[in-house]
Amino acid sequence: MNWLDYLDMAMKAIAALQAVDSGVAAVISQVNQTIAAARADGNRAPTQAERDALDAVINTQMAKLDAAAGG
């Protein structure tokens, strides 16, 4: 491989890392906002809809990981 191949590889790695960072940040933001809202609303528990939304994220990611693991 020449330096252009390495540059291409590094650019792809950076793009992948940015996508991961963005995906993680989105989940964290959702969770933090929900907990902040619950605390502001009489320190209630997260609603069923809020819990279902997080479960949907988990189930999507689990299905993806299952597929990658061959199961």
User: Which residues contact other proteins (rule: CB under 8 A)?
Assistant: 3, 6-7, 9-10, 13-14, 16-21, 23-25, 27-32, 34-36, 38-39, 43, 45-46, 50-51, 54-55, 57-58, 61-62, 64-66, 68-71
Which one-letter amino acid corresponds to residue 68? A
Q: CB 54 → other proteins: shortest distance, Å?
A: 6
Spatial distance between the Cα atoms of 39 and 46, rounded to a whole number of angstroms: 9
Count of all residues that appear for the chain in the document? 71
CB of 18 to other proteins, least distance (A): 8
- Of 63, 60, 37, give the one whose Cα is nearest residue 50: 37
Measured distance CA(26)–CA(59) in Å, rounded: 16
Q: State the nearest-atom distance from the C-beta of 23 to other proteins, in Å.
A: 4
